[in-house]
């Protein structure tokens, strides 16, 4: 369970703004750009991980369904 589980979409947007503003304080434009690029890369990699997990879970479910159908045919 994440802390975000209890936030509305609007509250999450506000939190994102606050974090961005705080991370940008007292930094040069170049530093902000590096931080933004880094966080963007982290987010992209997390998307790849999530997509692969979903795909593998889907494959596992399909394999399980096939086994169940085969077992039902043998029993019936």
Per residue of the chain (76 residues), what is the pLDDT tens digit?
788 899 999 999 999 999 999 999 999 999 999 999 999 999 999 999 999 999 999 999 999 999 888 888 887 6
pTM above 0.75, yes or no: no
Q: Answer whether 63's CB lies under 8 Å from 56's CB.
A: no
Domain edges within the chain: 28-76
The token pair that represents 3 in the structure block: 């802390």
């Amino acid at each position: 369970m994440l802390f975000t589980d209890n936030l509305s979409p609007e509250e999450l947007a506000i939190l994102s703004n606050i974090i961005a503003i705080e991370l940008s304080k007292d930094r040069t434009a170049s530093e902000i750009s590096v931080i933004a690029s880094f966080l963007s890369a982290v987010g992209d990699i997390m998307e790849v991980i999530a997509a692969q997990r979903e795909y593998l879970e889907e494959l596992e479910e399909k394999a399980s369904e096939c086994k169940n159908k085969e077992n039902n045919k043998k029993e019936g």
